[in-house]
């Protein structure tokens, strides 16, 4: 986990992205994370990062903390109807993180596809746990897009269009 945390900080430094960081008691849910962030006066959208398993492959879906993600919406994109949430053991194996501290980027696994909710970019700030349950980082949402253009992982943006989920590559 520390290795991923350090990689996140390296990416932020390399791209000259300013960020804020706070320490707080351990959190395991989006709701608890938001509580401590608000206590520190932070505003912005919190992240919810989910690992799905489909067709012998894992996928990271990054959305907002209050949004419910339905796996079935990704079935065409992932090429199967059989999609499930990864188990805690699989999450740890694939990302090196525990559930509740999965970050939106920073992985050594460059083959992990990342799907990002376009709604995130409509907010000024984006907040996430950087692979550690006792830390939160806040960056500008527009900087998150810069990060996704920089990292080696395949990244796609998803959005709702006339009630259907659509995908586009990061440009």
Number of domains in the chain: 1
Distance CA 59, CA 109 (A): 11
State the pLDDT confidence band at 69, using cuts at 50, 70 and 90.
confident
* CATH code, domain carrying 31: 3.90.960.10
Distance CA 93, CA 89 (A): 6
Structural domain range at position 128: 2-169
Distance CA 62, CA 129 (A): 12
78-108 tens-digit pLDDT: 999 899 999 999 999 999 999 989 999 999 8
Q: What is the pLDDT of residue 112?
A: 96
22-65 tens-digit pLDDT: 999 888 877 888 888 888 899 999 999 999 999 999 999 999 98
Provide the CA 74 distance to its chain's centre, in angstroms. Answer: 16
> Between 109 and 59, whose confidence is greater?
59
Burial of 22 (0-12, 13-18, 19+ CB in 10 A): middle
Distance CA 59, CA 61 (A): 6
User: Residue 85 forms beta bridges with which residues?
Assistant: 52
């Amino acid at each position: 986990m520390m290795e991923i945390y350090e990689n996140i900080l390296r990416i932020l430094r390399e791209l000259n992205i300013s960020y804020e960081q706070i320490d707080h008691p351990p959190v395991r849910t989006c709701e608890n994370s938001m509580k401590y962030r608000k206590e520190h006066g932070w505003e912005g959208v919190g992240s919810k990062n989910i690992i799905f398993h489909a067709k012998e492959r894992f996928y990271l879906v990054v959305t907002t903390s209050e949004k419910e993600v339905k796996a079935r919406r990704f079935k065409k994109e992932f090429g199967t109807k059989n999609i499930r949430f990864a188990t805690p053991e699989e999450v740890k194996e694939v990302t090196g993180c525990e559930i509740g501290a999965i970050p939106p980027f920073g992985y050594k696994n460059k083959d992990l596809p990342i799907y990002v909710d376009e709604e995130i970019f409509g907010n000024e700030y984006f907040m996430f746990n950087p692979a550690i349950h006792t830390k939160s980082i806040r960056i500008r949402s527009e900087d998150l897009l810069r990060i996704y253009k920089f990292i080696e992982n395949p990244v796609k943006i998803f959005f709702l269009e006339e009630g259907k989920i659509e995908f586009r590559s990061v440009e």
